[in-house]
Amino acid sequence: GLGRGSTTWPVDTIADEIDWSEHFDVPVGLVTGTNGKTTTVRLTQHILRAAELNVGLSSTDWIGVNDEIIDRGDYSGPGGARTVLRQKQVDVAVLETARGGLLRRGLGVPRADAALITNIAEDHLGDFGSQNLQELLDLKWIVMKALDKNSIAILNADDPLLTAKAAELDIPICWFSLDPAHPLLQHHRKNAGSATTVIDDQVARFDGAAWHPLCAVNDIPVTLDGSARHNIANALAAVALSHALGADDPAIARGLQSMQADDNPGRCNFFRVRGCDVLLDFAHNPSAMQAIFDIARTHPARRRLLCFGQAGDRTDELILELAANAWAIGLEHVMISELAGYRRGREAGEVFKLLRTGLIQAGAHSEQISHHTLERESLDHALNIARPGDLVIMLALADSKGILEYLKSIDGT
C-alpha cells in the first residue's frame, strides 16, 4: 500500500501474513520537465491542502507532509518518493521527478494517477543520457510509463516537442496553455477533452463540456499581478494536476490564492534593500532566465542592474544570445559572476569573456560590466552602486541558498 494505506516493517520482522483489506494505494501525481517543477508541486500542495487532504511532497528542496518538513535536500528521485509514500498520514502524494533520479534509478512508483510535464528546454544537455532536446524529452517521458487507462497525462500545449510526442499516448490528456485560442485546445474541446487556460484574465478549467472560471490571475500571488507569465503556466498545470488528484474547483481557487512568495523560496522573490527592489531567482538555464528578464523588463524601476553568470556547458552561440537577451531589458550595469564550480571544461574567465562580448555587441559599454569571483561579491557591488528606485536582478546558482539567506537578513534595511 501507499500513504495511509501502507505498512512498513523492519527487514528482520517482515510479517508472514497481512490483512490486504487494510492496505491500499493513495492518489499519486508525478511532475517533471525542465523548468517550473518545484513551483508546480508547491502550488499543487497548497490546492490539495485547501481540499483538506494530507499531502505528501517530494522536491529538489525537501520532502514533507503538509507543513512538516521531514528532511531538507534534493529528494526529487525515487528515494524521496518512497519516503513520502511510507508516511501513514498521507492521503495524496505529489512527487517532483527530476532527470537525475530517472537516469540513475528510474521511477520511484509502479503506477501513478497523473503525470505532468511542464516543458522541455535546453538544460543539462551533454550530460549522460541527454545529448540533445529529443533525448531529454525521451528521458522526461519515462513518467508516462507509470500511467494506465485510468490515469491522465497533463501536457503543455505551448511546447511543440510535447504536442508532437503526445501522439504516442493512448490515454486521456489534459492540455494547458496560456492561449485560449490555441488550435490544439480548440480541437481538444470539440472532442470533449479537458484543458486549462486563461479566459478574460481568469484561470479556467474545461471539463469536456463547459469552462469553469476559477479565480483571477492577479489574485494568484506567484504570478506577480500577471507579470510572471511562466508562473501563470505553472498555475494552469497545478490546476490540472490537483483536479486529477481529487480537488474540487473551490479548493483549487483557494489554494492558488494561498501560496505566497515566502512559500516558494528562491523563485521570483522580491526584497527591499536601501530603497531598491531586489529580484532573486535561481534561474540557471536560458529559458528560465528569459522568464525573469521578462518580469524585470516590466517592473517599474529607475535603472536595472543584473548579477548573473552562466555554466560553461552552453555553446558559445547560446551564451552570446543570453547576453544579448539580458541587455535588451534595458540594463545600466551588469555584474558577471565567475561560477568556478560550473566551468564544465572551460578555462577560468572564458565564460565571462563570452558574456562580456555578447553584452558589448548588444550595446553595452565596457565600464558598465564588472567581473566578480563570487555571486555574493557581485550582489554587494550591485547594492553599493544602486540608487533608490533601482531594480537589482540577482540570478543565483553557485551560492543560491547563501544569497537567499543574506537577502532575508537585509530585507527592509
Order of strands across the sheet that contains 333-337? 269-273, 276-281, 391-395, 304-308, 333-337, 369-372
pLDDT tier at 301, thresholds 50, 70, 90:
very high
CATH of domain 3-263: 3.40.1190.10
The C-alpha cell of 62 is what?
Answer: 525537501
**What confidence tens digit (pLDDT) does each residue in 377-411 have?**
999 999 999 999 999 999 998 898 999 999 999 99
Q: What's this model's pTM, rounded to 2 decimal places?
A: 0.92
Asked if residues 104 and 77 have their Cβ atoms less than 8 Å apart, the reply is: yes
Asked if residues 181 and 206 have their Cβ atoms less than 8 Å apart, the reply is: no
For residues 348-358, average pLDDT: 94
Which architecture characterizes domain 269-410 according to CATH? Alpha-Beta Complex (3.90)
Of 11 and 128, the one with more pLDDT: 11
The domain limits of the chain are 3-263, 269-410
pLDDT tier at 124, thresholds 50, 70, 90:
low
For residues 277-287, average pLDDT: 91
The C-alpha cell of 304 is what?
Answer: 536595472
Residue 308's closest CA among 257, 381, 239? Answer: 381
Q: What is the largest CA-CA distance in the chain?
A: 75
Please state at what angle helix 229-244 crosses helix 37-50, rounded to 10 degrees: 50
**What confidence tens digit (pLDDT) does each residue in 217-273 have?**
999 999 999 999 999 999 999 999 999 999 999 999 999 999 998 889 999 999 999
Please determine, for residue 348, whether its predicted confidence score (pLDDT) is greater than 80. Answer: yes
Of 18 and 322, the one with more pLDDT: 322
For the chain, counts of helices (H) and of strands (E): 13, 17
